[in-house]
Chain A
Amino acid sequence: MKKCLLFVLIALTISSTAVCLAGERLIIAVNTDAATLDPHVQNDSHSEQVVAMLYNTLLKFEEDGTIVPDLAESYTVSPDKRTWTFELRKGVKFHNGKEMTSADVKGTYDRFMRDDADGAQLVVKEITKMFEAVEVIGKYKVSVTTDKPYGPMMPLLCNRSLAIMDADIIEKHKASTGNFPVSVVGTGSYKIKSWKKDEEIVLVKFNDYFGTPAKSDALHFRVIPEAASRVIALETGEVDFVPQFPAEDMDRLKKSPKVNVIQKASVGARLFRFGCNDKIMKNTKVRQAIVHALDRKAFVDGLFPGMSLHSTGPVTSVVWGYHNFGVIERDLAKSKKLLAEAGYPNGFETKIVTTPRYAKGVELAETISAQLADVGIKAKIEVLEWSVLLPLWKGVTPEVFDQPIFVMGAGTSMMDADGALRGLYTTTETGTNERNYGFYSNKEVDQLVMAGMSETDPELRKELYKKASEILYLKDPVAMWLFDRPTTVAASSKLSNIKINGIGLVFYDEVMKK
């Protein structure tokens, strides 16, 4: 009996060791699956990360945010700054073996530029409204013309939403492109091998990749919904990479010899916006009072220690057009004075709407509510599940929208102030809130942001965004910025050469395993 037990124990120990020894593959533990692998439809960071490994864009961001050619070898801009002509790389292969040519670029862009393109499906349609025409000039030459000069054209072309796809695949699979492995065909360093929904996406190295070959043979994006399980799996060696983990695990992981924690400033920020349709919140002084009533150390040092940075403006430091306005310090006297000037010397009652979908969404609201109580503002908290909250945000009118203060995330995949400000904080034309969920409206901001969009002189653009940002952050606040969210990942100490760009995309193809 004892021998039998001993045998079982030895067998278990040997087989458990075998599990820990992964081959030349990287296992990435993600909390949720990619929604789609269609670059033009994807609209979440999980999908974007996988798309980044599968597809290429005409230009791309390096780790430090500089823009370099990707599928385009070179480009020229017409004197009127409206037409961009690109010389494409020759010999670039799609994963199905077909050569990428200017016809694919036209086919890709035409897909979302067509009048009848499904704007709901193709998220990219909204951000490329200024595109007027795409012309094939030669097999490897293509031009893109905009309706007027567009200042941030280069960062826009780096956006993964504008990734080049095989035109034949688009035509063949139409709206179901990117939903099944056969319809996922890019030019990236990895190609798709399998996709078990909500379980795992497996990418394998693409041997005909035009650029530097990927270092690992395969990438496994494995879905592990529970945060504690992801962290333990990293410590046991069952996974190599955890892109998201709770702030509470930070200290322990930093001390672990098996794990390295890597952090990089990103475009992401956490804020609570004001519903400017609210009769109290439409008053600028009220919003200023709230902004000055907050002690942001409670969020940065208390709720997200080591995983957050103090906000210093409406866009983060990695976004082009950023200006440092400093941290807004808590000043209760100033806040009370502003409230009195606004006609609320004894404060007022209001509501904070939040969702647990965002990390510590409820705790953030509770902290804000407690801090606002110090200036007499009594804010009750309404916690809504994401699927309940979304319809309350989407396309509603000011008469219906009932969220004086509400949680929101911020970021831009083009790392430019145009992407971070236009649409989100500019006045909507339709009367519904479109992307400007809080119905914020400031004519000066509108003019500055629209001028920044068409201005092509970088220095002048910076000046325009500085002015717009000052209004949004201080003079006529659109939101209370709580903290910036750097990208923080935990990786096995066996990994090296881990690079992350400002958008938060990890260059998994360059990661090496010891």
Chain B
Amino acid sequence: MLKFIITRIISVIPILFLVSILVFLMVHFIPGDPVINMLGMEAQPEAIEATRERLGLNKPLHIQYTSFLINILKGDLGTSIRTKKPVIQEIKDKYRYSLILAIGGTLVASVLGVLMGIVSAIKQNKFWDNFLMVISLLSVSTPSFFLALILILIFSLFLGWFPSIGVYSWRHYVLPIFALGTQSIGLIARMTRSAMLDTLNQDYITTAKAKGAPWFQVVFSHALRNAMIPVLTILGLRFGGLLAGSALIEMVFAIPGIGRLMIDAVLTRDYPVIQATVLFISVTFVMINLIVDILYSIVDPRVKC
């Protein structure tokens, strides 16, 4: 197992290296000037040039990239051009909010999605199957941004149950987590349903039923465990998606997460922050998928490490 993990971690290094090159080139080739953005419309040309020099932005790209890479290896992600704070500090301050949202969203999506999928599979082609599949279709096709506003209108403005902005208590997380997780509910429900239907038609399920195994045991112990592999894959991918895609939710609910940090950085061409946030999200994404790979072997012993 340890060897498997180490091998996987080593295989991640070229991916991150590639990501770092792509991100670096991308931010430097998009139009826009971070220095003019920082200094504003009134800035004098000499001062713009001086600031560019101070930030090292007038050096050739390969020199800039090399020093960027060396600094990363030293654990220095640079300083934000906009806020003048160390980027690592910026990310540390904001990452936890996005992580809570992504974990919460994944939990909501997986619990509700799996339950809906199981019920649909058991009640195949009956009212509950059709009803839940319509709900899952709705959840997949409703943009999270739109859903967020609808949730705020109903649960904050009309009912007054939950606050609509900020993150000052656990109650502040309820609506954003639901808004973020809802899209994945439908996806996971449909995936679980189809995997469960496949499994429920297997001979060993018929055998289990014939042996008189209780309904609960047949569904959850025999069928669900085997149906979980494709669902786990989706869960891993969705988590990364939710982490990277929480920006809109963070904007609507005024949550100072990493998604908002990234958007602000893109709008102001804050190169160090864009590079660091994208790298950070990539690392998380890759690590989550590594964990998923490990989970495979637990769920399905046939998958060898």
Chain A positions near chain B (C-beta within 8 angstroms): 12-13, 15-17, 19-20, 29, 35, 43-44, 118-121, 123, 126, 176, 179, 196-199, 222-226, 228-229, 232-233, 235-236, 238-239, 385-388, 390-391, 393-395, 432, 435
- Distance (Å) between the CB of B1 and the closest chain A CB? 42
Residues of A within 8 A of B152 (CB): 229, 232
Known contacts A123-B42, A387-B37; 10 additional CB pairs below 8 A are A12-B171, A16-B162, A120-B47, A196-B256, A223-B256, A229-B252, A232-B156, A386-B37, A390-B37, A391-B32
Say if the beta carbon of B241 comes within 8 Å of chain A.
no
From B41, B45, B166, B260, give the contact of A432 (CB < 8 A): B45
Interchain CA distance A27-B162 in the complex, whole Å: 18
Interchain CA distance A229-B253 in the complex, whole Å: 7
Known contacts A15-B171, A393-B41: A233-B48 contact under CB 8 Å: no
Known contacts A196-B256, A228-B149, A387-B267: A435-B165 contact under CB 8 Å: no
- Distance (Å) between the CB of B58 and the closest chain A CB? 14
Interchain CA distance A13-B159 in the complex, whole Å: 9
Say if the beta carbon of B50 comes within 8 Å of chain A.
yes
From B48, B161, B164, B256, give the contact of A232 (CB < 8 A): B164
Q: Which residue of B lies closest to A118 (CB)?
A: B47
Residues of B within 8 A of A35 (CB): 40
Residues of A within 8 A of B149 (CB): 228-229
Residues of B within 8 A of A16 (CB): 160-163, 171
Interchain CA distance A388-B85 in the complex, whole Å: 24
Interface residues of B, count at CB 8 A: 48
Contact with A along B158-199 (1 / 0, CB 8 A): 001111111001010000000000000000000000000000
Q: Which residue of B lies closest to A390 (CB)?
A: B36
Contact of B43 with A225 in the complex, beta carbons under 8 Å: no
Residues of B within 8 A of A391 (CB): 31-33, 36
Residues of A within 8 A of B253 (CB): 229
Interchain CA distance A432-B42 in the complex, whole Å: 13
Q: Which residue of B lies closest to A384 (CB)?
A: B31
Say if the beta carbon of B153 comes within 8 Å of chain A.
yes
Residues of A within 8 A of B84 (CB): 176, 179
Contact of B163 with A238 in the complex, beta carbons under 8 Å: yes
Say if the beta carbon of B284 comes within 8 Å of chain A.
no
A-B pairs with beta carbons under 8 Å apart, 30 shown? A19-B171, A20-B160, A118-B50, A119-B47, A120-B48, A126-B42, A179-B83, A222-B254, A223-B254, A224-B165, A225-B251, A225-B254, A226-B251, A226-B254, A228-B149, A229-B165, A229-B253, A232-B153, A236-B163, A238-B163, A238-B164, A386-B267, A388-B32, A391-B31, A391-B32, A394-B36, A394-B41, A394-B45, A395-B45, A435-B42
Say if the beta carbon of B157 comes within 8 Å of chain A.
yes
Contact of B32 with A198 in the complex, beta carbons under 8 Å: no
Interchain CA distance A224-B163 in the complex, whole Å: 13
Residues of A within 8 A of B267 (CB): 385-387
Interchain CA distance A17-B160 in the complex, whole Å: 8
Contact of A222 with B251 in the complex, beta carbons under 8 Å: no
- Distance (Å) between the CB of B147 and the closest chain A CB? 13
From B32, B36, B164, B269, give the contact of A236 (CB < 8 A): B164
Interchain CA distance A111-B156 in the complex, whole Å: 49
Interchain CA distance A229-B32 in the complex, whole Å: 29
Interchain CA distance A453-B188 in the complex, whole Å: 69
Contact of A388 with B31 in the complex, beta carbons under 8 Å: yes
Contact of A222 with B32 in the complex, beta carbons under 8 Å: no
Interchain CA distance A19-B42 in the complex, whole Å: 42
Contact of A13 with B256 in the complex, beta carbons under 8 Å: no
Say if the beta carbon of B226 comes within 8 Å of chain A.
no
Interchain CA distance A29-B163 in the complex, whole Å: 14
Residues of A within 8 A of B44 (CB): 119-120, 395
Known contacts A387-B32, A387-B268, A391-B36: A43-B42 contact under CB 8 Å: yes
Residues of A within 8 A of B50 (CB): 118, 120
Say if the beta carbon of B39 comes within 8 Å of chain A.
yes
Residues of B within 8 A of A435 (CB): 41-42
Residues of B within 8 A of A126 (CB): 42
Interchain CA distance A474-B252 in the complex, whole Å: 44
Say if the beta carbon of B76 comes within 8 Å of chain A.
no
Interchain CA distance A268-B45 in the complex, whole Å: 27
Residues of A within 8 A of B31 (CB): 388, 391
Contact with A along B234-278 (1 / 0, CB 8 A): 000000000000000001111010001100100111000000000
Contact of B161 with A229 in the complex, beta carbons under 8 Å: no
- Distance (Å) between the CB of B80 and the closest chain A CB? 9
Q: Which residue of B lies closest to A224 (CB)?
A: B254
Interchain CA distance A385-B252 in the complex, whole Å: 21
Residues of B within 8 A of A236 (CB): 156-157, 160, 163-164
Say if the beta carbon of B282 comes within 8 Å of chain A.
no
Within 8 A of A (CB), among B35-94: 36-37, 39-48, 50-51, 83-85, 90, 93
- Distance (Å) between the CB of A244 and the closest chain B CB? 14
Contact of B256 with A198 in the complex, beta carbons under 8 Å: yes
Q: Which residue of A lies closest to B47 (CB)?
A: A120
Q: Which residue of A lies closest to B252 (CB)?
A: A226
Residues of B within 8 A of A232 (CB): 152-153, 156-157, 164
- Distance (Å) between the CB of B30 and the closest chain A CB? 8
Q: Which residue of B lies closest to A237 (CB)?
A: B160
Interchain CA distance A390-B85 in the complex, whole Å: 24
Interchain CA distance A222-B93 in the complex, whole Å: 17
Residues of B within 8 A of A224 (CB): 165, 254
Residues of A within 8 A of B33 (CB): 387, 390-391
From A19, A228, A394, give the contact of B163 (CB < 8 A): A19
Among B40, B47, B85, B162, chain A packs the most CB atoms within 10 A around the CB of B40
